[in-house]
Amino acid sequence: MKYFQDNSQFIANTTLADSVQTIHARKQLTNLVLSIAQVIVGVALLVLSTHLAVESEIYLNALNQSGLNQYHVFGLLVCTSFFAGILLIAQQVFHHSANGFDEIFHY
């Protein structure tokens, strides 16, 4: 009887450890996917702001003809998208460099 009780406790502990590992793996995968998405959005914002800045003459002519650039919205759009892209990428770089620093000097 003692043999069965010991084995049932071992099975329960093993199942609990497996579920904790599964949850940890899912959390890591979710963090990885979100990090990749954040970097992609940051790069897309940088590309958008660069494209708008390079082709600004065409866009400004169109906006000025229709009177939509009264408050210099175009310049604000370019600057906002550029800084948003930089901040999204910088946030990931700082996050990963802080984690890497902790792993290196863990001892």
pLDDT attached to residue 70: 75
For the chain, the domains span 2-104
- For residue 73, is pLDDT > 60? yes
> How confident is the model over 46-60, as a mean pLDDT?
90
> How confident is the model over 12-39, as a mean pLDDT?
80
Lowest pLDDT segment from 7-16, 24-33, 90-99: 7-16
Residue 86 near residue 46 (C-beta atoms within 8 A):
yes
pLDDT attached to residue 69: 78
Report the Cα 68 to chain-centroid distance in Å: 33
Q: What is the pLDDT of residues 27-37, one digit of tens each?
A: 888 888 888 89
pLDDT attached to residue 103: 55
Residue 45: count of CB within 10 angstroms of its CB: 20
